[in-house]
Amino acid sequence: MISLILKRLVLGVLTLWLVATLVFWVSGALPGDAAQSILGQDATPETLAALRSQMGLDQPEIVRYWNWLKGILQGDFGVSLANGTPVNDVIASRLPNSLLLAGLSTLVAIPVSLILGIASAMKPNSVFDRLTTFLSILALSTPSFLIATIIVLVFSVWSGLFPALSNISRVETIGGLFRVMTLPVLALSLSVIGQMARMTRAILITQLQEPYVETAMLKGASRLRATVLHALPNVAGPIVNASALSLNALISGVVFVEVIFAYPGLTKLMVDSVSSRDLPLMQACAVIFCAGFLVLVLIADLIAILANPKLRTE
């Protein structure tokens, strides 16, 4: 386990460095810059040159990359070009909101998808299985922004049950938090539930046809007991890995959800930084997303190994 963790950490650091390097050079190739965005199209060349010099945008790309990389190694992502605030402070004010949204969506998506996937695998080709498959494919094939828009129309515009905008900064009670978070969590969970339920069913339905499951049932175990206690532990590794890949959809789906619901999270901050050409803030958000993905994959691998004795011995 220690050797595996060390190897994963080394590979993760190398991957993070490659992604950070790619993000830096690609974001630097975007048209326009923060100085142009701040001063507007009517700014004179002299004013633009002075502001670019003040922001350090006139330095060679390799010098800016080296300074930025040294700052990351020291835990300093630099200063926002849009408002002059340290990027660490800006991210610290938004990251807890994104973690709250992703955490609540995970708590909803994982149990629901596992229950649907297990129930569908236990009764293949039944009415419940066909209905679950249809709804899962529908959720997977519908873009996240369209799901969020439909949810706003149904639960906010037409029925008025929940607010259309999720301004979490004004929440003071648990009831208020529930009202504000319900629609974003629902919009973010649906596509994840569809994907995880399909993967769980596909992985488990083959395992239920193995002889040891039939033997357990012949000895008197119910189908539910044979599925949960015998078949499920043997496919815990693939299910956990599939769940990790499904949860990565939160990273892409949360962009549309936070924008549509005006949720003050990290991905909305990244979208705003792209609009204002705030390169340090944009690059910091991209690096954090990559680091979150790597940590999620590492946790999934460790859970899979702990759940399967065969993988532990190997």
Q: Is residue 49 assigned to a domain?
A: no
Q: What pLDDT, on a 0 to 100 scale, did the predictor assign at position 291?
A: 83
Give me the number of domains the chain comprises: 1
Q: What pLDDT, on a 0 to 100 scale, did the predictor assign at position 302?
A: 75
3-state helix, strand, coil in the chain (%, to 5): 80, 0, 20
Q: Is residue 225 assigned to a domain?
A: yes
Q: What pLDDT, on a 0 to 100 scale, did the predictor assign at position 249?
A: 64
CA within 13 Å, CB half, 223: 11
Q: What pLDDT, on a 0 to 100 scale, did the predictor assign at position 177?
A: 82
Q: Is residue 302 assigned to a domain?
A: no
Q: Is residue 38 assigned to a domain?
A: no
Q: What pLDDT, on a 0 to 100 scale, did the predictor assign at position 204?
A: 85
Q: Is residue 79 assigned to a domain?
A: no
Q: What pLDDT, on a 0 to 100 scale, did the predictor assign at position 222?
A: 81
Can you list the residues of the chain whose pLDDT is less than 50? none
Q: What pLDDT, on a 0 to 100 scale, did the predictor assign at position 36?
A: 60
Q: Is residue 291 assigned to a domain?
A: no
Per-residue burial over 123-153, b if 16 or more Cβ lie within 10 Å, else e, is eeeeeebeebbeebeebbeeebeebbeebbe
Q: What is the pTM of this model?
A: 0.76
Q: What is the DSSP string of 171-208?
A: --SHHHHHHHHHHHHHHHHHHHHHHHHHHHHHHHHHHT
Q: Is residue 241 assigned to a domain?
A: yes
56: left (phi over 0), alpha (psi -120 to 50) or beta: left
Q: What pLDDT, on a 0 to 100 scale, did the predictor assign at position 31?
A: 64
Backbone angles phi, psi at 308, to 5 degrees: -120, 110
Q: What pLDDT, on a 0 to 100 scale, did the predictor assign at position 70?
A: 84
* CATH number (domain holding residue 207): 1.10.3720.10
Q: What pLDDT, on a 0 to 100 scale, did the predictor assign at position 43?
A: 64
Helix ranges (DSSP H) in 29-123: 34-39, 45-55, 61-73, 87-122
277: left (phi over 0), alpha (psi -120 to 50) or beta: left
Q: Is residue 147 assigned to a domain?
A: yes
Domain region containing 170: 95-264
Neighbours of 296 (CB within 10 A): 17
